C-alpha cells in the first residue's frame, strides 16, 4: 500500500499547486495531474472500470477547461462581505461535519467484509447474468434503475447547458 500513499501525497501536492498558482493554464494542468493520480489509485485498488472512466472523463474535463475558460479573466473578488461569507462557511462546515459524523458512525471498518448483498453478487453474478465483468452485471442488471437515473442526469445536464448558453437568451 506504500505506492497508494505516494500517489495520495502526489495528488495533494498537485491540488495545492492548482489552488495557489497564479497562472490559469498551470492550474488546469495541475488539476489534470490530480485526476491522473486518482485514476492510478483506482488501478492500484483493483478497480479497472473506474480507472478507465476516470481517465477519459479527466481528459474531457481538461479539454473543456482549456478551451472554454482559459482566455477569460475570471472575476474573483476577495473583498466585500467577508464577515458574512466566513460565517456562512462555518455554518455549512458544522452542518456537513455533524451529518457526516452521524452517518459514518454506523459504517463498518474499512476492509471488513460484512456485506451480504455484495457477497451474493460476487458468488452468483456470473451464473445469474452471464456477464464476466461483474461491474457491468451490477450496473446493467442488478442496479439498472441507477443507470437509468444516470442517463437522466446526463440528459438534464445537456438541457441545462443548452438553456444557459443559448443565443436568444444571451442577446437580450
Partner 1 sequence: MKEQEKGMTIIVKTITRLTVGLILLFGIYIVAHGHVSPGGGFAGGVIVALSFIHIMLAFGKEEAFRKINQNVASFFESLGAILFITLAILGIGSGYFFVNFMSKGKPFELFSSGFMPLANLAIAFKVGSGLFIIVIILVMFKISKEGDNR
> Which of 117/162 has CB closer to partner 1?
162
24 makes contact with partner 1 (CB under 8 A): no
145 makes contact with partner 1 (CB under 8 A): yes
In three state form, how does the secondary structure of 46-103 look?
Answer: CCHHHHHHHHHHHHHHHHHHHHHHCCCCCCCCCCCCHHHHHHHHHHHHHHHHHHHHHH
Burial of 37 (0-12, 13-18, 19+ CB in 10 A): buried
63 makes contact with partner 1 (CB under 8 A): yes
What is the distance between the alpha carbons of residues 7 and 41, in angstroms, rounded to a whole number?
7
Residues numbered 70-89 forming contacts with partner 1, rule: CB under 8 A: 71
158 makes contact with partner 1 (CB under 8 A): yes
Show Cβ contacts of residue 169 under 8 Å, excluding neighbours closer than 6 positions. Answer: 163
162 makes contact with partner 1 (CB under 8 A): yes
122 makes contact with partner 1 (CB under 8 A): no
39 makes contact with partner 1 (CB under 8 A): no
Among 64, 91, 97, 122, binds partner 1 (CB under 8 A): 64
Which residue reads 480507472 in cell numbers?
Answer: 51
What is the distance between the alpha carbons of residues 152 and 98, in angstroms, rounded to a whole number?
31
132 makes contact with partner 1 (CB under 8 A): yes
Contact 64, 157 (CB under 8 A): no
> Which of 44/135 has CB closer to partner 1?
135
Tell me how far, at minimum, the Cβ of 6 lies from partner 1, in Å: 24
Residues that bind partner 1 (CB under 8 A): 48-49, 51-53, 56-57, 59-60, 63-64, 67-68, 71, 126, 129-133, 135-137, 139-141, 144-145, 147-148, 150-151, 154-155, 157-158, 161-162, 165, 167
Amino acid at each position: 500500500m506504500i505506492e497508494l500513499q505516494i500517489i495520495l501525497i502526489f495528488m495533494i501536492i498537485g491540488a495545492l499547486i492548482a489552488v495557489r498558482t497564479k497562472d490559469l493554464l498551470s492550474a488546469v494542468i495541475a488539476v489534470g495531474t490530480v485526476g491522473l493520480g486518482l485514476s492510478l489509485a483506482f488501478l492500484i485498488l483493483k478497480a479497472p472500470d473506474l480507472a478507465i472512466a476516470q481517465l477519459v472523463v479527466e481528459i474531457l474535463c481538461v479539454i473543456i477547461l482549456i478551451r472554454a475558460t482559459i482566455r477569460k479573466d475570471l472575476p474573483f473578488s476577495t473583498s466585500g462581505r467577508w464577515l458574512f461569507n466566513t460565517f456562512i462557511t462555518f455554518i455549512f462546515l458544522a452542518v456537513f461535519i455533524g451529518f457526516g459524523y452521524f452517518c459514518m458512525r454506523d459504517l463498518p471498518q474499512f476492509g471488513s467484509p460484512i456485506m451480504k448483498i455484495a457477497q451474493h453478487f460476487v458468488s452468483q453474478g456470473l451464473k445469474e447474468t452471464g456477464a464476466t465483468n461483474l461491474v457491468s452485471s451490477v450496473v446493467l442488471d442488478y442496479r439498472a434503475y441507477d443507470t437509468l437515473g444516470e442517463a437522466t442526469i446526463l440528459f438534464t445536464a445537456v438541457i441545462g447547458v443548452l438553456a444557459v448558453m443559448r443565443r436568444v437568451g444571451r442577446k437580450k
